[in-house]
Amino acid sequence: MNHPLSRLAIHTMTNKPWSLRECCDAYAKAGVGGVSVWRNVIEPIGIEEASRIVGDSGLKVPALVRGGFFVSRDEAKRNASIGENKKCIDEAAALDAEMVVLVVGAEVGVPLHEARKQVADGIAKCLDHAASNHVKLAIEPLHPMYAADRSCINRMADARYICEQLKSPWIGIAADVFHVWWDPDLASEIARAGRHGTLFGFHVCDWKPVMSDMLNDRGLMGEGAIDIASIRADVERAGFEGMIEVEVFSSHHWSRNQHEFLADILRAYQNHC
């Protein structure tokens, strides 16, 4: 029988006070199956050391987080983002990560319809590099409260339109319950992504009805409004076989003892996912 936590992966950002080594040691010891690595924990040690740490831990790596940010009024910046995304793909390959998560970008002054074109163009320029490195690219739709400056892709359907334009097995979607739980078309879009083979990632946390901060006040599963178990059931019905990735940005939880927080994460995963 599989370990009950074998399908669980935790994003390093969830335990932000920890280094990559501290995350990997604690997750492996707890029986967690995987780690999704944020680039900020690679930066201080370099990619060789990072891939050694992850490799030695035995953890799977569903995702490197994050690439994207394709949108700008400035053509030079748009071109620079392609180079940065290719570097990100190289790092993912070095970590043996399945995918790079894309937060696609948005910029005040760039109309959303134009921004979405820039995103499709930008991803198109990275696809060959992704394919030759065997790294998938997963568009993560972000909640519309981030449409001004982080992501012009806000619904599963918006991500699907890009996938349909690009027609590549290397482009798909990471569905994060925090961003998409409110969407009336969520269940049908999850089913459709399953049929199209584009459901690459599934991220969980919770939506607190009163948030003190748009970025760093997410709830642990069970602390908020999202019916995570029912979305998980949709994802399973769609044929998803990947890991369930816990991604919680929370100044509150980051201020706590991280070992105690990890114990809460494992309990929340078992009770609410």
Q: Which residues bind Zn ion (CB under 5 A)?
A: 176, 203, 247
Q: Which is nearer to Zn ion, 78 or 85 (CB)?
A: 85
Measured distance CA(263)–CA(38) in Å, rounded: 21
Confirm if 172 and 139 have CB atoms less than 8 A apart: yes
Residue 180 beta carbon to Zn ion: minimum distance, rounded to whole angstroms: 10
Q: Which is nearer to Zn ion, 158 or 176 (CB)?
A: 176
Residue 11 beta carbon to Zn ion: minimum distance, rounded to whole angstroms: 7
Q: Which is nearer to Zn ion, 59 or 248 (CB)?
A: 248
H/E run at residue 42: helix 39-42
Q: Which residues contact 114 (CB under 8 A, 6 or more apart)?
A: none
Residue 210 beta carbon to Zn ion: minimum distance, rounded to whole angstroms: 21
Measured distance CA(109)–CA(118) in Å, rounded: 13
Length of the chain: 273
Residue 58 beta carbon to Zn ion: minimum distance, rounded to whole angstroms: 24
Residue 178 beta carbon to Zn ion: minimum distance, rounded to whole angstroms: 7
Please give the backbone phi and psi of residue 65, each rounded to the nearest 5 degrees, phi first: -125, 125
Q: Which is nearer to Zn ion, 129 or 203 (CB)?
A: 203
Token duo for residue 146 = 């981030």
Q: Which is nearer to Zn ion, 78 or 205 (CB)?
A: 205
Confirm if 171 and 123 have CB atoms less than 8 A apart: yes
